Amino acid sequence: MSSATTPIRFGIIGCAEIARKVSRAISLSPNATLLAVGSRSIDKAQKFISDNGLPASTIPLAPYDAVLDHPSVDAVYVPLPTSLHVTWAVAAAKKGKHVLLEKPTALCVEELDVILEACRENRVQFMDSTMWMHHPRTEKMGELISDPTRFGEVKTVDSIFTFMADEDFLQNDIRVKPDLDALGALGDAGWYCIRSILWANSYQLPKTAVALRAPIKNNAGVIIACGAQLLWADGRSATLNCSFLAHLTMQMTVIGTKGALHVTDFIIPYEEEKGSFTFVSDAGFTELVTGWVPVPSKHEVTADLPQEARMVREFSRLVKLIKEEGKEPETKWPEITRKTQLVIDAVKKSVDNGFEPVDIIG
């Protein structure tokens, strides 16, 4: 196999539910292949391979170290509970494995920094698994809001991700457990809201985070619903609302001085093959204020591959550049991750300190 066609060989560490989606994405990505699945037992790994119809050549491994020790594994996808990320992402980096890490990436930025430092030291690519970033719709939306003529400057962003967890989730899911995913709904749903707000603001960190009142915590103290306001020094602002206790909603509204963008399925598009959004520029009203001129236009963007496969493809492209051409890891992705984590931490701190503003220092 020539270098140009040698796929990046993935190992998965942990047979989480989300790993099913990403293992398919690895199969769909033209420059990646799933080499091994690691679990705490070989039986569990083998069951995951069989249950998900993965190629019989996929190697079941146990325990997780076996994936890191496998000489043919180039990169690992880590969907373990957040509390285990620092251990396993660092271990992977030290073994020279590139790291695709599930979100939230860490319990706090200090932990994340340990991971990122290990990746830097070992010259491995780091990327978090925020799939919607890789949809071609996101690129198209980014072009529109970067256009000073049509959009002007961003003034405010409103981002909501809620879903209605069932009783089993609220009792047993790792995302409600303080020892597993202590950031709860903020780290899970809120991650996407915060990322979307940073994305819309060209990744400029807000100056301040202020939690909204009345966050909801479970008996173990884990956030299961909360909101926040983010503020920039120049007057820009954003609001986010994340919850496990309200019907599925995932919308982002970005309002500029000259235009507005709106999308109602930004994290998981309604349909895999395409994604749409609306955009309007310089809208006003008819003379008697009885209608809009113009009305927002619907834009539809077709995806050549599912967004998670595009993520794997982009990650693998970067890994190949490092592996085959001696390039340095792309720093854009860990930088975006770190900013997201910084904002998460500030919102959490404001929730915990009685809704006082918390400065965000990059």
Task: With CA atoms as reference, report the closest residue to 31 among 330, 313, 311, 327.
Answer: 313
Indicate the SS3 state at residue 331.
coil
**What are phi and psi for residue 359, nearest 5 degrees?**
-70, 140
235 vs 362, which CB is nearer to a copy of itself? 235
The answer to whether the beta carbons of residues 351 and 42 sit under 8 Å apart is no
The size of the interface with a copy of itself (CB under 8 A), counted in residues, is 64
State how far the Cα of 195 lies from the Cα of 60, in Å rounded to an integer.
34
Q: Which is nearer to a copy of itself, 284 or 362 (CB)?
A: 284
- Kindly state the smallest distance separating residue 56's Cβ from a copy of itself, in Å: 21
User: What residues between 1 and 30 interact with a copy of itself by CB under 8 A?
Assistant: 18, 20-21, 24
Structure tokens at 293: 């001129």
Q: Tokens at residue 319, please?
A: 């890994």
* Piece of 33-41, 77-85, 97-105, 233-241 that binds a copy of itself (CB under 8 A): 233-241
Q: Which stretch binds a copy of itself (CB under 8 A): 2-10, 68-76, 104-112, 255-263?
A: 255-263
44, 95, 97, 103: which one is catalytic?
103
Q: For residue 235, which phi and psi values (nearest 5 degrees)?
A: 105, -10
Q: Are 176 and 222 in contact (CB under 8 A)?
A: yes
Which element (helix H / strand E) includes 90? helix 85-94
Chosen residue from 84, 255, 321, 322 binding a copy of itself by CB under 8 A? 255
Is 103 considered catalytic here? yes
Residue at 340: amino acid letter: T
Of 74, 102, 128, 158, the one binding a copy of itself (CB under 8 A) is 158
Residue 243 is a binding residue for a copy of itself (CB under 8 A): yes
- 306-335 residues in contact with a copy of itself (CB under 8 A) are 306, 308
Distance of closest approach, residue 112 Cβ to a copy of itself, in angstroms: 24
> 96 or 357: whose CB is closer to a copy of itself?
357
Q: How far is the CB of 248 from a copy of itself (least distance, A)?
A: 5
170 binds a copy of itself (CB under 8 A): no
Question: Which one of the spans 76-84, 134-142, 168-176, 212-220 is the region binding a copy of itself (CB under 8 A)?
Answer: 212-220
Closer to a copy of itself by CB, 31 or 163: give it: 163
Beta bridge partners of 78: 101
What do you get for the CA distance between the two ends of the chain, in Å? Answer: 44
Tell me how far CA of residue 195 lies from CA of 53, 218, 239, in angstroms.
Answer: 33, 25, 12
Smallest gap from residue 1 Cβ to a copy of itself (A): 29
Of 41, 245, 328, 332, the residue at the interface with a copy of itself (CB under 8 A) is 245
> Which strand (E) or helix (H) includes residue 127?
strand 126-128
The region of 62-70, 176-184, 238-246, 311-319 touching a copy of itself under the rule CB under 8 A is 238-246
Task: Indicate the burial class of 161 (C-beta count within 10 angstroms; 0-12, 13-18, 19 or more).
Answer: buried
What is the rounded CA–CA span in Å between residue 113 and residue 185?
22
Q: Give Cα 149 to chain centroid, integer Å.
A: 30
185 counts as binding a copy of itself under rule CB under 8 A: no
Site string for a copy of itself, 262-301 (x = CB under 8 A): x-xx--xxxxx-----x-xxxxxxx-xxxxx--xx-----
**Structure tokens belonging to residue 176:** 């409600």
Residue 343 contacts residue 198 (beta carbons within 8 Å) = yes
Contacts of 198 (CB under 8 A, 6+ apart): 204, 205, 336, 339, 340, 343
Q: Which residues are catalytic?
A: 103
Residues at the interface with a copy of itself (CB under 8 A): 18, 20-21, 24, 152, 155-156, 158, 160, 162, 164, 208, 210, 212-214, 216, 227, 229, 231, 235, 237, 239, 241, 243, 245-249, 251, 253, 255-260, 262, 264-265, 268-272, 278, 280-286, 288-292, 295-296, 306, 308, 357
